[in-house]
Chain A
Amino acid sequence: MTVQLSLKAVDKFYGAIDKGVHAVRNINMDVHKGEIIALLGSSGCGKTSTLRMVAGFEDTSRGTITLAGREIQKLPPVKRNVAMAFEGYSLYPTVTVRENIAFALKAAKLSETEVAAKVKEVSEMLEITDILDRFPTSISGGQQQRASLARALVRDADLHLLDEPMGQLEPQLRTLLRGRIKHYIKERGLTAILVTHDQTEANAMADRIAVMEGGVLQQFASPEEIKEAPANLFTGTFVGEPPMNVFPAVVSDTGDQIHFDLQGGLDLQYPAKDFSADVRQAMLSRRQIVLGVRPYAVQRSAEGAPATVEANQWLGDQTHIAARFAGASIVLVEHDFTDVALGSEIRVHLNPNDLHVFDAETGQALSHGAQLA
């Protein structure tokens, strides 16, 4: 795998270096050719600043950015060979959607038939064939966004940047287009960075997700890895819908039993042999930990601990149940219609294989179910 884009020790300050607002903090990241990367985080996490530095709309305060073998952090945007779809669409208002999409292709001196074929292909993929001859101001926000996306995707660039590309689309179209766009990018071997605050979008489209918070890259890994082995409490609770259940606990080891003392006097016990020596060591050295368990991993089982049902919400193909557990609320996901009455007692079991253990103080992950024993 060749590295297409590389960020080395990249910092962004708004204002003077080391004095102004430190928006992006020492980001190191390699993106391989043909990969789709998602920059995921809430607003103000630094993802848009990072994208804008790569695109060249923002000075790189410190560090180097290398694209296809060239250092680009000092180049103006037009010389970077980067295609970008904007969150705010920014179509050229004086020409039709078709000409907007074809603009860069014509500038690249492609033949007319070639341009027509490419425009047709991308507009069919994004379902905008019916508006190609309209002007940007006469179409809806969702259509403008797709036109902007088409204009970026149709180009043959070293890197495609997609800034919240589907925020304005109706939800019915979103899931379908995510699949199609991913297929389109993969088929052509394009390299793309997607900036989004929507984890569903990141999970659905990206090969790897870069989770950002407070300007810091929290974790850069595949969606599966982020789900199964979140690097810290932030990633664990930020990625995953419904969010991960977390419970502060105190660990103790009686030799053959590991005890987790949760709030509300709940004591979870597991055979010590279920945990590897390293993990036991790590947990006991901290004592104060946070236990995390994904909603779909919570099992209902007769031998489990009692919990009182507070909400039971059926969503068509899933049921979300919330129950009072260990002085907090625990959420379960079931994949069919589940009929448990509000106020009734259920028993929930947390399988040691599904437990994520975090250091209560630093939030760093100590172990994940898969690594236990």
Chain B
Amino acid sequence: MTIVLKDIVKAFKTDVVLDGVSLSVDKGETLVLFGPSGAGKTVLLRLIAGVVELDEGVIEIDGRNMDGVEPEDRGIGMAFQNFALFPHMDATENIAAPLTAKRMGQQQIKHTVEKVARLLKIDHVLHHKPKELSNGQKQRTALARALSGEPHILLLDDPLRNVDAKLRFEMRLELPRLLKDQEATVIYVTQDYKEAMALGDRIAVMNGKGIQQIGSPFDIYMSPANVEIARLFGDPVINLLDVTPERSSDGVQIMLSGQSLVIDDGYAQSIGQSCVLGIRPEAFHFVEEGTQGAIPVSIETEAPLNEKTVTLALTKNKREVMISRPAGAPAPSSGTAWIKVDAKNIHLFDRQSGLRIDPLKTQQAQGAA
């Protein structure tokens, strides 16, 4: 089933949440809607589900206009951020809700519920009421309910938001297989960039009333369309430094703490312009004193972060930079150190508009870097 959205507009009173959003999702694809809270992701999902009414635009599911089609007739399954389990029904009845709607026989319902429950490892708590379930079990029950009717379209609204880190991690690894087995078209909403990159065939980045970029995780991480998107992907956040590219004898250069960083000739278009240089923390490397182009920094603090070590350091001009390296990799931990960045791993943005400056090269060439 394909989903096509055309020029969607939605406002609550005078507050415009979505302003001309267009999007299409292919059959069997998992599309992640990613963005900070308030970007309209959940509203978009609810419009597709039919529980919130559209102001303008068209929603088509498999070529059929959804205008006037009730939520129960759209053939979708949905999981909610707050689980939205039926508190007065036990897990079995919750999971069976899409099946009773289809007037399936008791025996077949029982069989189907048990199958889905086994898949999600909740077959031992089927007779518990929601309030007797742990958070992780609630979340799995909600997911089981969304899956049990074997819908062709699955809408998942940040389903891992309210479970602890360990479960979230487990589910993140489990979900892709589960979704592929369903052969459903999936729209997945999240605020966690790692979830977005791990689960999405494509990611649509929503920020400020609309979609700012759609692409594969690789495209978005390697070629973010603007400064905001670069900031949203990556932990620690990308280092952003105000710079003005200059002409040098070797082509185009950027001065960092008095050291010249020669960058791609393709950036010649922005010589003399006010720009923002983006360098991901992992793109910096510690080097020996005296290495060509090395920038001296004074180290403020160092902290471990999910199998990485993050160093917060100050440049000569008192600018903060964060440097990350795989945990265990040796590096100076106090005093003055020297760091360097490979010119291939930089991002340049226009300071005024925040838009990415493309060095006029194909993305494959960038990606290979």
Contacts and interface: CB of A to CB of B under 8 A. Distances in A.
A317 B310 CA distance: 13
B326 A42 contact: no
Contacts of B199: 313
Contact of A171 (B164, B235, B280): B235
A252 interface: no
A227 B305 CA distance: 12
Interface stretch (A64-72, A100-108, A280-288, A327-335): A327-335
Given A172-B231, A175-B310, A179-B312, 16 more contacts: A172-B232, A175-B322, A179-B322, A204-B310, A238-B166, A243-B170, A310-B173, A313-B176, A313-B197, A313-B198, A314-B197, A314-B218, A315-B198, A316-B282, A317-B324, A335-B326
Contact of A310 (B177, B198, B304, B307): B177
A63 interface: no
B173 A204 contact: no
Contact of A241 (B231, B280, B307, B328): B307
B173 A331 contact: yes
In the A-B complex, list the 4 residue pairs whose CB atoms are closest, starting with the nearest.
A179-B312, A204-B303, A313-B198, A175-B236
A315 B197 contact: yes
B233 interface: yes
16 contacts: A171-B235, A171-B237, A176-B312, A179-B310, A182-B303, A183-B300, A200-B305, A241-B169, A242-B169, A311-B198, A313-B176, A314-B218, A316-B193, A316-B233, A316-B280, A335-B307
A204 B327 CA distance: 13
Nearest to B237: A172
Contacts of A199: 165
B307 A333 contact: yes
A322 interface: yes
A141 to B, nearest CB: 10
A194 to B, nearest CB: 13
B46 interface: no
A178 interface: yes
Given A175-B236, A238-B166, A317 B304 contact: no
B34 interface: no
A203 B302 CA distance: 10
Contacts of B322: 175-176, 179
Contacts of A263: none
A317 B280 CA distance: 9
Interface-centre pick from A237, A310, A311, A317 (highest chain B CB count, 10 A): A317
A325 B194 CA distance: 24
B36 interface: yes
Contacts of A205: 303
B313 to A, nearest CB: 9
Interface string A286-313: 0000000001100000000000001101
A179 B164 contact: no
Interface string B171-184: 01110110000000
B249 interface: no
Contacts of A322: 173
Given A237-B166, A311-B173, A313-B172, A204 B304 contact: yes
B169 A183 contact: no
A317 B282 contact: yes
Point out which of B36, B237, B307 has the most chain A C-beta atoms below 10 A from its C-beta. B307
Interface in A230-248: 237-238, 241-243
A183 B327 contact: no
Interface residues of A, number: 44
Nearest to A197: B164
Nearest to A334: B326
B366 interface: no
Contact of A176 (B166, B172, B320, B324): B320
B320 A200 contact: no
Contact of A311 (B177, B234, B303, B308): B177
Given A310-B173, A311-B173, A317-B324, A175 B305 contact: yes
Interface of A: 42, 170-173, 175-176, 178-180, 182-183, 186, 197-200, 203-205, 223, 227, 237-238, 241-243, 295-296, 310-311, 313-318, 320, 322, 329, 331, 333, 335, 342
Contact of B176 (A171, A180, A311, A333): A311
Contacts of A313: 172-173, 176, 197-199
Contacts of A178: 303
A183 B197 contact: no
Contacts of B164: 42, 197
A180 B162 CA distance: 28
A369 B347 CA distance: 41
Contacts of A237: 166
Nearest to B194: A315
Nearest to A237: B166
A186 B172 CA distance: 37
A295 B169 CA distance: 12
A203 B320 contact: no
Contacts of A315: 193-194, 197-198
B89 to A, nearest CB: 26
Contacts of A320: 173, 198
B217 interface: yes
A124 B217 CA distance: 35
B348 to A, nearest CB: 19
Contacts of A179: 300-301, 303, 310, 312, 322
Contacts of A331: 173
Contacts of B231: 172
B126 to A, nearest CB: 23
B306 interface: yes
Interface in B222-259: 231-237
Nearest to A172: B237
B301 A182 contact: yes
B349 interface: no
Nearest to B281: A317
Given A175-B235, A310-B177, A315-B197, A183 B165 contact: no
B221 interface: yes
A30 to B, nearest CB: 23
Contacts of B308: 317-318
Nearest to A295: B307
Given A170-B36, A205-B303, A243 B236 contact: no
Contacts of A172: 231-232, 237
Interface string B298-334: 0011011111101010000000101010111000000
A296 B166 contact: no
